[in-house]
Amino acid sequence: MIIMKLKERIKSLSGNVKEEKMKKELEEIETINIKLDHRVTKLVAENEHLKQTYKQLYDSIKSSRVRSKEQCDDLIKQVNIKSAENSDLNASLQEKVLVITALKDTLRKLKGKDVVNEAVTLHPIDPELLKIDVAPLARKLRNNRTAHNDYLKHTQKETATLGEIVKNERLLNPLNTSLDYAWKLQPKADIGIFIGYAPTKKAFRIYNRRTRRIVETIHVDFDELTVMASEQSSLGPALNEMTPATISSGLVQKTFFFNTICTTFKK
């Protein structure tokens, strides 16, 4: 009897223990579920935030891509326009080159000689090379104004006459190349310095500053030619007056001898 009671008591105690244990476990499980719910809620919120962030990034990337594409299209369009302009410029340059070449050919035909295609570099001359040391004249030559005036008077007359002779000869014989270097005296370029006069030779000594030479000119007066002609009139036909008109008409010989002796001036 006592044993039976003890057994029943043990059963009741064990049942109570099991119930308490189960309740405790249920409470623990509920606590864990609550914690998990909080974590899930937090994770859902973070997920939504990430979705919004990614959406914003995607939208910004999409807009940037659209802008970049538009900029690239604009750049490509500008490059195409510049290429077309360069092509037009090259075509116009080629046309101008052809026109210039044609003009140069025309100039060659008109002038009968080649036209310089390349620019020539000019090299300046050192002024020291152009300086000369002129020896002083003797006193009798420096004061010989009569000889100097006589030289100027006769030289001017003969220069004008020679110019007319060469001019008329060129008109009559334009193909005569022997006159190409005739009458090359330039009044300003060929300025000379009178040095002296030899009465016995009737010769003037002139220093040409351009050529840097001393020229001895044998002077022949036209009056002397007339006197010589009158003296020899009994031996042959009369000598006509030596003028450009008579020369061009063929009444006198078309050759005029003007003798000069050139001496290089040395420092």
Domain map (residue ranges) of the chain? 1-123, 127-264
pLDDT mean over 168-178: 68
d(CA 88, CA 229): 79
> Is 225's pLDDT higher than 60?
no
pLDDT mean over 113-133: 55
> Is 63's pLDDT higher than 80?
yes
pLDDT mean over 18-42: 84
> Is 46's pLDDT higher than 90?
yes
DSSP state of 254: S
d(CA 23, CA 35): 18
Mean pLDDT (the chain, rounded): 67
pLDDT computed for residue 171 by the predictor = 76
Lowest mean pLDDT among 49-58, 109-118, 194-203, 223-232: 223-232
The residues, ordered by sequence, that sit 6+ positions from 256 with a Cβ below 8 Å of its Cβ are 162, 165
Higher pLDDT: 112 or 91? It is 91
| DSSP three-state, residue 207 | strand
pLDDT computed for residue 11 by the predictor = 67
HEC letters along 72-128: HHHHHHHHHHHHHHHHHHHHHHHHHHHHHHHHHHHHHHHHCCCCCCCCCCCCCCCHH
pLDDT mean over 125-136: 56
Residue recorded with tokens 């000369």: 132
Edge-to-edge order in the sheet of strand 213-218: 192-198, 203-208, 213-218, 260-264
Q: Beta-carbon neighbour count of residue 167 at 10 Å?
A: 15
pLDDT mean over 160-178: 67
> Is 181's pLDDT higher than 60?
no
> Is 119's pLDDT higher than 60?
no
Confidence of residue 78 (pLDDT cuts 50, 70, 90): very high
CA angle 50, 54, 55 (to 5 degrees): 115
> Is 130's pLDDT higher than 50?
yes
